[in-house]
Structure 1
């Protein structure tokens, strides 16, 4: 019997800072546990501003500092994502509102749409956008994504 594959899509506003970090962190977690074949992982944006772009250089630098590489290219979420993914985990209330509104336009939406921060053991619900910040802000996003992704993975077993 084939193992059931679960799927998660991480979403932020532009798909160049928070969601690619979360995607890369989650991908590393499942790879380290040798369960990457049990998960389909991706990230996307609510907006179309950065479609086709690589993640922010500060996000890539932060990931590299933790031994993680990413070849992700930004993409905007599609109606199909609401039918394809089991979980759509976003970074803040604005993302959540936009996703809920978009999901209402999809018949038979099957995705569970939540804040990634709802899994944070430190109860930091919002993963703040580091775009206008500095390296320290990207590091804070990384650390929060690690906590949240570990807790999400544990809860979704």
Structure 2
């Protein structure tokens, strides 16, 4: 990553980088591509747990993205200590993620990442992006819609 590129890393926990965070990553990548700024960004996603490392996103999330014309080849991964140094923004989905990431960051010397809720960018002020894993297709759609709202504002403020 070059110094001139910005970077974002959406993070979730409960489902281990297979639901919310890959949806946010794919939405943000599409928006950055459409805005012509994708080359200015390093975009990835991760989880605080290692539960599903190497797995594709949840099939319901993939179906939701496909419905909206978005493809992803993401594979689940766990957040590393290096991520706290190399990513400018680590955008988590809920208070539990925020707490865990702040705890992990304390063990990383000279980390630079700004750790915050992706929902803090939601113009509808829905700060928590709820985990849809135990829900329905409608719950994945709600996550998608919230990610669209949040990523739009995040991109506008940071491009």
Q: If the length of structure 1 is used for normalisation, what is the TM-score?
A: 0.98
Look up the match of 2:85: 83
5+ residue gaps in structure 1? none
Residue 5 (structure 2) pairs with residue 8 (structure 1): no
Look up the match of 2:45: 43
RMSD: 1.1
**1:3/1:38 contact within 8 Å kept:** no
The 3 A distance-change label for structure 1 pair 100 and 3 is closer
5+ residue gaps in structure 2? none
Equivalent residue runs for 1:54-133 within 5 Å: 54-133=56-135
Runs of 4+ residues over 3 Å off in structure 1? none
Question: How many aligned positions are there?
Answer: 156
Alpha-carbon deviation of 1:34? Answer: 1.2
Spell out, residue by residue over 1:106-147, the C-alpha distance to the aligned partner (whole angstroms, 9 max, x if none).
000100000000000000000000000000000000000000
Q: If the length of structure 2 is used for normalisation, what is the TM-score?
A: 0.96
Alpha-carbon deviation of 1:89? Answer: 0.1
Alpha-carbon deviation of 1:12? Answer: 0.2
Alpha-carbon deviation of 1:3? Answer: 8.6
| Residue of structure 2 aligned with 1:136, choices 135, 138, 142 | 138
Alpha-carbon deviation of 1:43? Answer: 0.1
Look up the match of 2:158: 156
Alpha-carbon deviation of 1:39? Answer: 0.5
